[in-house]
Each structure stands twice: as C-alpha cells, then as structure tokens.
Amino acid sequence: MPLLPDHAHTPGINARPAPHVPVQATVDAAFLNVHPDYLEGWFLLRSGYPWEAHEVWEDIWRKLPASSGERHFVQGLIRLAAAAVKGRQRNRAGILHHLAGAKAHFNAAGNMPTGGIAPQALKDWIETLSIEMWLSAGPDAPGPLIEIGPG
C-alpha cells in the first residue's frame, strides 16, 4: 500500500506536493485493473486525496490508445477526482462541470467493465452525490468518499 502524502493538495489553499513518479512506463489496457499506478489512484481517492489521484491517473491516461474505452474511462476518473478538488475549493460550478464531464466519459467508455469496474456503477454513484456535502466539507476535509473501486 502506498504512503499517503503529508496533506491533500487543494490548489490556491496549500502547497502542491512533489510530482508523481509513475511506477511503470507502459500501460496494457487489458490489465488496467492490476496496474500499480491505477490502483494507487484509487487508494488516494478513497483516502481523501483527489488531487493526487488525478495526477496519478493522468500518467496512465496519456499512455492509453486515443479514443479507446479505457482512455475514456480513466478520463472519467480524472474528472471525478477534479470534481472532488472543486468541492474542497467550494466551487459549485466546477463540481457540476467536472461531474458532467465524468459522466460523459463513462458513457463513452461503454458498458463493459474497465479496470475492474462497470462504468454504470460510477455513473450511479455520481447520481447519489450531494453537492452540498462537498461544498460544506471545506478545503481540509475529503467530502464524500467513494466506496467503489477495484480490490
């Protein structure tokens, strides 16, 4: 299990952590569910570190084939994490923008499970969110934590 950073970064609120160093240079979409960086992103998001999760997943996203379902899926995860960051910033419009983007990418990913998760499960979770929970949590609180994920 990876170590958690000293603090969860919130742009405009606190210092940015050291950049993420990818574990592996290659990404095989068929084995995304066991890729160490993919799993680290889930660990970070579930632990209340959405900025850090987004940074980890961006490394994977860049390496996936353009327009692939897997690339859309990972982009949806990045947008989901970005929505959580906007919640820490108390930016309602930013939350709604990124959640809409996440749902669009999960739709584009198709119906087949990707990275060990059905995109529909993530879309369903987004529908249950209370934006007010994120807005009231503030810059040092994680807001609603996601229970979905591999493992």
- Given a cut of 70, is residue 21 above it in pLDDT? no
Nearest of 34, 95, 92, 26 to residue 63 by alpha carbon: 26
Q: Cα(71)–Cα(18) distance, rounded to whole angstroms?
A: 25
Answer whether residue 23 is part of any domain: no
Per-residue pLDDT at 88 = 85
65: CATH? 1.10.3450.10
Question: The tokens of 2 are what?
Answer: 């990876």
Q: Cα(102)–Cα(3) distance, rounded to whole angstroms?
A: 27
Question: The tokens of 21 are what?
Answer: 């160093």
Answer whether residue 142 is part of any domain: no
Quote the percentage of the chain above a pLDDT of 70. Answer: 87
Q: Containing domain of residue 37, as a range?
A: 30-137
Answer whether residue 39 is part of any domain: yes
Answer whether residue 101 is part of any domain: yes
Answer whether residue 24 is part of any domain: no
Query: Which residues, other chains included, contact 93 with Cβ-Cβ below 8 Å and sequence gap of 6+?
Result: none
- Given a cut of 80, is residue 6 above it in pLDDT? no
pLDDT digits (tens, 9 = 90+) for 42-56: 999 888 889 999 999
Residue range 100-127: average pLDDT? 90
Answer whether residue 82 is part of any domain: yes
What's the predicted TM-score (pTM) here? 0.86
Per-residue pLDDT at 144 = 64
Answer whether residue 149 is part of any domain: no
Per-residue pLDDT at 87 = 87
Answer whether residue 147 is part of any domain: no
Question: The tokens of 11 are what?
Answer: 């742009």
Per-residue pLDDT at 78 = 97
Residue range 4-11: average pLDDT? 74
pLDDT digits (tens, 9 = 90+) for 70-93: 999 999 999 999 998 898 888 999
State the total domains in the chain. Answer: 1
Encode 63-99 in three state secondary structure. Answer: HCCCCCHHHHHHHHHHHHHHHHHHHHCCCHHHHHHHH
